[in-house]
Amino acid sequence: MKKWLYRQAIDLKILFKLFLPKGKAEYILFSGLLVFYLIYSLYIAFHSSIIDSTVFETDIYFSFDNPLVLKQGRTQMAGHPLMMIFYYPFVVLGDLLASFAGFKAKTVLFVLLSASLISMSCVYINRYLKEIAEVKNSAALLFTMFYAFTFTNLLLAFTAESFTLSAFFLSFNVYYFSHYIKKGEVPSLTSTAIISCLFLGGVTITNFVKGVIPTLFLNYPWKKILKRILGLGLIFAIVFVVIEIGFQVFLDKSLLGYVFVHQGRHTPMALSFESIRLYAFHHLFGTPIFISDYWLYSNMINQTDYKEWYQYLFTWLLLITVVIGLVRNYRNKFVQMIFLLLLVDISIHLLLKFGLTAPFIYGGHWIYCIPLILGWLYKSLKGKVQTAYVCFAGCLFVVMVINNLIGLSRFISIAVENFPALQ
């Protein structure tokens, strides 16, 4: 028993240490990205109310519900049972700061939190590329910056939402388990349960599956893997039921009605070629990475369809590159894991059609897979082909940065003009 407890304690210590930047290079990467994200995020915070609106709590831009998170620490409890536990301490702290320094002090706190989470997510991606895929530093930095400048991350850097937490925990999840698989070791059940049942499933219930998938690739007999999966499922079921009943009975009896209203926008739709072209290609895969344009309707900012040829070209080239990366490395167990993680979102949104009419917001659930696949494709190439691929990826990156920064500036202009700052 003592040995078991000691092993759990050591593993939890490792888990905590891996959450933090390792070495000077990671601290520089984290700090640089944090400063970049804060430059425009704080401008938005002080010059508009789009982050902290007291008039509109939900759906202000791209269906995010960040004003509600700043107010109550959660969106819907049914799909995000532990989200309030992560955010509510910051709500209390923010209210305390606001009582001394004004309303915007709370907004700044949540902007700093969001920017820090996205910056650390980029650190995990960079760490994975260098340690797991063994991509050389310059190429690893390129693919990390590609991830950092996707439009979803540019927005999540100032958006306190479940997707911001998901981007953070999911990128850590894939690195953490790959770290153990690379060493041929098995993490303890305690740390595995914390990641899959609390961090992932607690923030968004469907992400629980993504915490279980890496278990399939552990250096473990299949019987033990099956037992571990069943154990994780039981732990998650208990946590979910207890938390759900607890919040509904003791904290907020009106919450259930809100859930039904909130989930109404996820009405299933007929799956046709046109819906696949429009929602799956443009909005589910395309715009979370490479933004199009916006339109303002009923006090909500939403994205338009692609209108320019280069937008279609970029998205198709990136999609083809990702497919090639998966095909070339189909025997690689790390790539197989990434594919299964992607397959969860493909199944939820394209097969089950959940959220297919508002797909942009789900980018935080899967975008972290893209730089990892790009990195593994780089690793599978040699010589001049590898050099040509880096040049190609660099060109895609430059085009994306220009497009997304222009899009971000348009977003800021719309926010400042239509959602004036609270006095």
Domain map (residue ranges) of the chain: 2-418
Model confidence pLDDT, tens digit, residues 74-127: 776 667 888 888 999 999 999 999 998 988 999 999 999 999 999 999 999 999
Model confidence pLDDT, tens digit, residues 204-217: 888 999 999 999 99
Residue 390 vs residue 11, higher pLDDT? 390
Q: What is the pTM of this model?
A: 0.91
Which of 150-154, 164-168, 323-327, 360-364 bottoms out in mean pLDDT, i.e. has the lowest? 360-364
Token couple for 75: 């969106």
CB 383 within 8 A of CB 327: no
Token couple for 208: 């629980």
Class of residue 414 by CB neighbours under 10 A (exposed 0-12, middle 13-18, buried 19+): middle
Angstrom distance (rounded) from CA 100 to CA 163: 30
247 pLDDT tier (thresholds 50, 70, 90): low
**Residue 255, pLDDT above cutoff 70:** no
Which of 69-78, 218-227, 364-373 bottoms out in mean pLDDT, i.e. has the lowest? 69-78
Residues 6+ apart with CB under 8 A from 104: 45, 46, 52, 98, 422
Question: Ranked by mean pLDDT, which of 71-75, 132-136, 415-419 comes out on top?
Answer: 132-136
